[in-house]
Structure 1
Amino acid sequence: MNIETVTRKGTSEWNEDALIVNEALSLYGVADGATSLRPYRGPQQETGGYLASRIVQRYLESLQAEDVAGIGLKELVVEANMRLREEMEAAGIDLSDKTALWTSALALIRIHEHYIDYAQVGDCMIAAVYADGTVRAVSRDQVAHIDYMAKRVWEDGIKNGVENREQLWELVKPTILANKSKMNTLHGYSVLSGELELDDLIEYGRINRIQLQSLLLVTDGLFLPKESISPATDSVQEIVPLVSEMTLQGYVDWLFAIEAKDKECRKYPRFKISDDKTGIWIYNL
């Protein structure tokens, strides 16, 4: 088995992504923190999104065999969410205000001899590749419909002649604020936020390893940029052949080069010039 990992800061101040590698447990994951809309800074000026992904990372990487005996990945995600809740409480965050919460998406797998366990929250994605070349999305992008609503506002702004990324951001901010109210609800999306409602919204399960060749885990910063937005959620399947051809690091470098040529985010509607990018490519399983 070979493993290639990458995590790279985008154009924001902090890399709010986190790479999760616990080799002793064959436990691997990617987390994507999101900064709250109510400004918060930690002791070292860390954003809430950075703190959220690191709380999840530290907990999952600290686990030992005796900690997970008879425990599934869903339970581990629930515990990570509780630890996030406790850290926010200690920092004085108002847990009843969704716009103040530190949040993180997560894709997590554990490799066993005959099967793979997985758990997923938000828009971090998992793909499986089989010996015949079939690419299967193991997870579902649960944020795609929310992002689509916001990106439509962005795209409409471009069509109406707005040329500056900062002006486009001001246009879309009310929509993003409204979307925050839908966190961990049936008409919204799932995310680690310390909210107890997440417990019933975690997606998790098991796939067998018959003919399984590779696994790819990515944060949404690795999604292919699109010139025209759509509510489609097939981004992870599109990435696999490019990673196979370029390597994971090569693909990340290629993405940054494309984004650097579109600094106003007009050709490829998106909220940042470059989002943080984190991935794990596991091959020759």
Structure 2
Amino acid sequence: MRKRIHSIQQVNITSPTKRESEDAFIVHESAGIFGVLDGATPLTNFRDEDGHNGAYLAAQLFKRHFLNLSETAELSKEVVKANTKLQQEMLAYKVNVEEGYERWSTCVAVVKIKENELHYAQLGDSMIMISYEDGTSKVLTKDTVEGISERASRQREKDRKSGKKIPEETYYREPLNRLRYNRSMANRENGYTVANGMKYIEPYIQSGVVSLDNIRDVFIFSDGLFHPEHTLHDTYRRVREFGLISYINQVTEHYQTNDLRVDDRTAVWVTF
């Protein structure tokens, strides 16, 4: 018997600098599946016939896929299936998938509540956390995007030493050039993980199963909820203390006060 869910809260607030949210959330209660998707802001001008960019399309494709699953679905396998669909969709729109920065991509953080277990799968920097009855919390996933610019710089230096023709670092001081190179680090050693249609992503999926014994809630959230001065454990504690919307208002105010970019803010919070 599935552990009884007491409440489900979900929020998706669009960045004030964007025309529409590039995040999405999954609430599929009958299958016990919940998740957050964070589309990576594109580095090209592509728009489909309805005006949507690749980040929005990637996140929405994954959302539709997971909302159509049954409770017998295996999360990692479904991430791979949705990723294959994403590749097919990009090819249908004649996206140049040979260039990493032209691919549509999204971070993925999904869980499934099955019996008294929590199954999870993740790519990127959308995070999954749990808290226990004693008030402690645990991060189930690793943020693979953190530090990518530094790792990319080291990779370029390594490639130069091996004889590859790589522009000097002054070229990568231009944000667009740096970001485009970073996208070439997707799903490779010392890079970062993301769903972007590339083959063989399964080894990069972080996945696992934990018992729901003594767990009081599960929190899934995009990096728009990260506070630059607090740990993820502090973030989670503040969500439990002040409530989800109140915390989001706090972190948004901090970003705006300090002239930092406010991202899309998306979360799903399931309590037992």
Q: TM-score range by the shorter chain?
A: 0.7 to 0.9
Structure 1, residues 102-148: CA drift from partner, whole Å, max 9, x if none? 00001000012211000000001011101111110011111112156
Alignment of 1:60-139 (within 5 A): 60-65=66-71, 69=72, 71-139=73-141
* Contact residue 107 and residue 217 of structure 1 kept, 8 A: yes
Alignment of 1:47-62 (within 5 A): 47-62=53-68
- CA RMSD between the two structures: 1.8
Alignment of 1:14-25 (within 5 A): 14-25=20-31
* Contact residue 86 and residue 197 of structure 2 kept, 8 A: yes
* Contact residue 151 and residue 190 of structure 2 kept, 8 A: no
Structure 1, residues 195-221: CA drift from partner, whole Å, max 9, x if none? 013122111110011211111100000
Matched, 1:3 2:25: no
**234-243 vs 183-192, greater mean Cα deviation:** 234-243
Match of 2:254 among 255, 258, 273: 258
Other-structure match for 1:13:
19
Which residue identity is paired with 1:255?
Answer: V
Tell me the CA shift for residue 235 of structure 1: 4.0
Other-structure match for 2:209:
206
Alignment of 1:165-244 (within 5 A): 171-226=174-229, 235-244=231-240
Matched, 1:249 2:237: no
Tell me the CA shift for residue 238 of structure 1: 2.2
Other-structure match for 2:42:
36
Which residue identity is paired with 1:179?
Answer: N
Match of 1:275 among 252, 263, 269: 263
SS in 1 for 2:62: helix
Question: Any unmatched runs of 5+ in structure 2?
Answer: 1-5, 153-171
* Contact residue 126 and residue 236 of structure 1 kept, 8 A: no
Structure 1, residues 73-128: CA drift from partner, whole Å, max 9, x if none? 10010011011111111111112111100000010000122110000000010111
Distance in structure 1 (CA, Å) of the matches to 2:232 and 2:117? 21
Structure 1, residues 220-267: CA drift from partner, whole Å, max 9, x if none? 0000024xxxxxxx843221111011111111122222222233x3xx
Distance in structure 2 (CA, Å) of the matches to 1:262 and 1:147? 22
Which residue identity is paired with 2:80?
Answer: V
* Contact residue 14 and residue 47 of structure 1 kept, 8 A: no
Which residue identity is paired with 1:74?
Answer: S
Distance in structure 1 (CA, Å) of the matches to 2:81 and 2:198? 12
Other-structure match for 1:229:
none
Distance in structure 1 (CA, Å) of the matches to 2:264 and 2:149? 16
TM-score (norm 1): 0.82
Distance in structure 2 (CA, Å) of the matches to 1:235 and 1:142? 16
